[in-house]
Amino acid sequence: MTSTLTTRFLRLAAGTAAAALLAVPGLSAAADGYPNHAIRLIVPFAAGGGTDIMARIIAQDVGKELGQTIVVENRPGAGGGIGAAFVGQSKPDGYTLLVGSTGTHGANQFLYSKLPYDPVKDFTPISVLVTFDNVVVVPESSKVHTLKELVDLAKKNPGKLNYGVTTVGSSSHLAVEKFKRDADIQAAAVPYNGAGQATTDLLAGRLDFMLDLVGTQQPNIKAGKVRPLATTDLKRNAVLPDVPTIAESGYPGFSAVGWIGLFGPANLPPAVVDTLYKAIDKVYKTPEFQATMRARSFDIAHMPPAEFTRFLADERAKWGAVVRDANIKLD
């Protein structure tokens, strides 16, 4: 599947890569001796979720390209705020990096009255890493078989259905809140620090439904443990070609595609940024890596740092509007 968002990434990256690299002073200079020891990659979410899985795959392959180990470290909590703040306050030497997300760098500043980090001033954007689709799922034991049936059930029982929020402020959380608004339904959110426990409760029937990454739920869907009702991109997901989109299911134009990107602390040396981006670029061009990521329903997409910076400004504007329209506040 190539989502609308991914298509935009690829088009922008192809047309502006050379210009963006030249636009940043010193970006073409080689990083002197970098990296000469292991790099810490902070994932601000719990182990076992889609972001964590993706980060470990990329860390392994990009680490090989760099000739150093990239150690993934989970620092979950506060919608990604704990891990993001840790990296934002770290030494800008390229040895402590962050896997940021739609939440940490697109929506959290609007969801929380006060953040322990500034998503703009505290970070150096390096590149988008992947984009991804989400899927609405119910436990196999549920009598609900379509999105319409879920909406009808919620309207007959306002506020009585519950749903799992794998990470507060994540793209899947925002997507389900947007869907609730568009469908005019009420349901109770049950927050978790990652997809693992949320999925456990869903399988046990303690949750009525959940919206989560396709890649995370794909094994459960294949095993018949959960039932997919709809996906969140405008186009059907290649991994779930028989599952309709929310847009197809009565909500034209509905789209909620998330992304994950790589960040360093503010004032990261341009030569370090260049080294990291070039390693990502090389790895992403290999058929083996592409096959691995797409098998998990991640759409690989990367863009030069300058273009990524502009993209982030657009994302903040978009998600800020969604949060304001839905009147979502997390504190």
Provide the CATH number for the domain around residue 147: 3.40.190.10
Q: At what angle do helices 171-183 and 305-326 cross, to 10 degrees?
A: 40
β-pairing, 123-132 vs 188-191, is: unpaired
SS3 of residue 218 by DSSP: helix
Work out the average pLDDT over 117-134: 94
Work out the average pLDDT over 8-36: 48
Domain that holds residue 181: 134-231
Give pLDDT, residue 32: 66
CATH of the domain at 288: 3.40.190.150
Residues 98 and 210 in one domain: no
Is residue 53 within 8 Å of 292, Cβ to Cβ?
A: no
DSSP summary character for residue 127: E
Is residue 78 within 8 Å of 21, Cβ to Cβ?
A: no
Count the domains in the chain.
2
Give pLDDT, residue 229: 98
Residues 274 and 298 in one domain: yes
Inside any domain, residue 252: no
The mean pLDDT of the chain is: 88
Share of the chain above pLDDT 90, in %: 65
Inside any domain, residue 243: no
Three-class DSSP labels, 140-190: CCCCCCCHHHHHHHHHHCCCCCEEEECCCCCHHHHHHHHHHHHHCCCCEEE
Residues 183 and 274 in one domain: no
Residues 72 and 92 in one domain: yes
Residues 94 and 196 in one domain: no
Per mean pLDDT, which range of 21-30, 211-220, 280-289 is the poorest? 21-30
Give pLDDT, residue 204: 96
Residues 145 and 109 in one domain: no
Inside any domain, residue 249: no
Residues 74 and 124 in one domain: yes
Inside any domain, residue 115: yes
- Paired residues of 265 in beta bridges: 123
Using the predicted structure, report yes or no on whether residue 199 has a pLDDT greater than 60. yes
Q: Which two tokens stand for residue 283?
A: 């790895």
Taking CA atoms, 21 is separated from 159, 285, 303, in Å, by 51, 18, 10
Residues 205 and 120 in one domain: no
Residues 106 and 157 in one domain: no
Is residue 165 within 8 Å of 191, Cβ to Cβ?
A: yes
Using the predicted structure, report yes or no on whether residue 79 has a pLDDT greater than 70. yes
Inside any domain, residue 242: no
Inside any domain, residue 239: no
Using the predicted structure, report yes or no on whether residue 50 has a pLDDT greater than 80. no
Q: Which two tokens stand for residue 117?
A: 């980090």
Give pLDDT, residue 27: 35
Cα separation, 227 vs 146, whole angstroms: 9
Q: Which residue, 216, 231, 246, sits at the end of a domain?
A: 231
β-pairing, 209-213 vs 134-139, is: antiparallel
Share of the chain above pLDDT 70, in %: 90
Work out the average pLDDT over 157-169: 90
Provide CB contacts within 8 A for 18, sequence distance 6+. none
Give pLDDT, residue 120: 97
Give pLDDT, residue 5: 46
Residues 50 and 120 in one domain: yes
Cα separation, 132 vs 170, whole angstroms: 12
**pLDDT band at 36; cut points 50, 70, 90:** very high
**pLDDT band at 69; cut points 50, 70, 90:** very high
Q: Which residue, 192, 214, 231, sits at the end of a domain?
A: 231
**pLDDT band at 181; cut points 50, 70, 90:** confident
Inside any domain, residue 241: no
Using the predicted structure, report yes or no on whether residue 169 has a pLDDT greater than 80. no
Residues 108 and 138 in one domain: no
Give pLDDT, residue 17: 40
Taking CA atoms, 286 is separated from 93, 184, 300, in Å, by 28, 45, 11
**pLDDT band at 222; cut points 50, 70, 90:** very high
Cα separation, 252 vs 248, whole angstroms: 6
Using the predicted structure, report yes or no on whether residue 170 has a pLDDT greater than 90. no
pLDDT tens by residue, 226-259: 999 999 999 999 889 999 999 999 999 998 888 9
Work out the average pLDDT over 11-34: 44
Q: Which residue, 231, 249, 276, sits at the end of a domain?
A: 231
Using the predicted structure, report yes or no on whether residue 287 has a pLDDT greater than 60. yes
Cα separation, 276 vs 274, whole angstroms: 5
Residues 177 and 219 in one domain: yes
Nearest residue to 231 (alpha-carbon basis) of 250, 259, 212 = 212
Nearest residue to 213 (alpha-carbon basis) of 175, 172, 180 = 172
**pLDDT band at 23; cut points 50, 70, 90:** very low
Inside any domain, residue 160: yes
